[in-house]
Amino acid sequence: MQEQREGHRVAIRIHWMPLVRISVAVLVAVLVFAVIPVTVLAIDDPDAALAVNGVFVYNDLLEEGDAGILIDYFIDYSISGNPTETATESYLGIFIDTDGTTQLKAVAPYTFQDSGYGRGIIWIYFTAAEVTTYSIDSTNEALYRVWLVGNPTLSWVPGPDPPKTIAGIDSWLSTAALFPSTILGFADLLELAWTIDLIQETPLGSRLTVQGESYFMNAIPNLRLMAPAIFASGTTGPSLEDLDYSTAFGATVTDLTGSIVGSPVTLVSGSNTLTGTGNGTLTIELTKGTVGTATSGAGGTVVTNSPVDLVFGTNTITITLAGTNEFDVDVELVNTQTGITDTITGTGLDLSDAAAAFGMSRVMFSGLIWLIVSILICAAFIKVASTKGILLIFDVCIIGGAVLGLVPILVAALLFIGFGTITGYVLFFRGAGI
């Protein structure tokens, strides 16, 4: 019986031994954590007060109504040496609302050279929707602030508060027109500070180098979209213009600093006599193909530098009134057709009088006459030779009529294309000789 009790006690001791070991281990762990302090990241204050050299705000960068804040900072650790933490981990640029305390957005510097310390830029961007939400307005420029402040999650020495400086806005531009030149300016400054090539001269002007692109594109997201002209290479879509080869007569004279009777006056082809009512300049708008001259009038009005040649687009003339206040403007339509037609004016091929007798234009009348002549030539060819080659003969006649100014060029071109097609069909598909 005694032996059974002893055995039972031994079994109980053996059963509780693991529990005792676990309890001791937990107690030791608690004591270790209580005695050994938890490691906290610590960083020294900079050697000199934080500096914000400038704050520049731009609107309409990626979309209408957006805003970007460019902060030029300087964090000095030149004496004590840079901390283990980078500037990205240690500092923040914060845009503060007009109340002086509300933080609208915070961005850390981008680490590129010297762990991000020394001189650099911080970019804070607000979309158009955010600008509306926060009521960011240039009219309150003087009330906004920018903080350059140490990261509050770090332990600062001597502390207890992180270093901080406050700056106002130096410039607020409602457009992004000067933004590219500002970036190139900072590239030039940082190149000197870092002794790294950030900017280069190209046939197109100053552009960022590969290293310059690396820094600024990381510091300013979407920079290539906001300022494509500062990059040495890029892609662009061609601008396709709808070219208009048509010509038509059109001329209008309008008051500018001077004045004329009935302004604006629509001119007719030929000579136009206008009456001035005030000294000064006039504009003369000519459509494509219309040309002319402006000359001093017989009545006494002087056109400066008379005669003044007038060309397609906007022309400006200056008049000085005198006598009857009249001056002359001669305009006409000049194109390939009129140029060829003018070569027969006054010659034996000029059928103007005959065309007038039939109430037709000279070009139409001469075209009909030449068509009849061409048919007679083809008929004579058939009688003397054969039908082979008749289409070619007709084409040659039409081209000759256009060159002589007897057949309108458009009509000649259409006839040539039509009969040329028929000629090709006969030659290549019907196997006939021409």
Residue 96: pLDDT band with limits 50, 70, 90: very high
pLDDT in tens, 204-243: 899 999 999 999 999 999 999 999 999 988 666 677 666 6
From residue 396, give the alpha-carbon distance in Å to each of 229, 248, 374: 55, 29, 9
State what percent of residues in the chain have pLDDT above 90: 55
The residue-averaged pLDDT of 76-101 equals 96
**pLDDT score at 234:** 66
Contact 165, 146 (CB under 8 A): no
- In this model, does residue 394 exceed pLDDT 60? yes
**pLDDT score at 180:** 96
Which range has highest mean pLDDT (118-132, 225-239, 409-423)? 118-132
Tokens matching residue 227: 């300022």
* Cis peptide bond prior to 408, omega within 30° of 0: no
The residue-averaged pLDDT of 361-372 equals 78
**pTM for the structure as a whole:** 0.52
pLDDT in tens, 279-303: 999 999 998 888 899 999 887 889 9
Contact 125, 155 (CB under 8 A): no
CATH topology classification for 51-177: Immunoglobulin-like (2.60.40)
**pLDDT score at 154:** 95
Q: What residues contact 124, with CB distance under 8 A and at least 6 apart?
A: 68, 69, 71, 93, 95, 105, 106, 107
Domain ranges of the chain: 51-177, 251-334, 352-428
pLDDT in tens, 7-61: 545 444 545 455 445 554 544 444 444 444 444 568 999 999 999 999 999 999 9
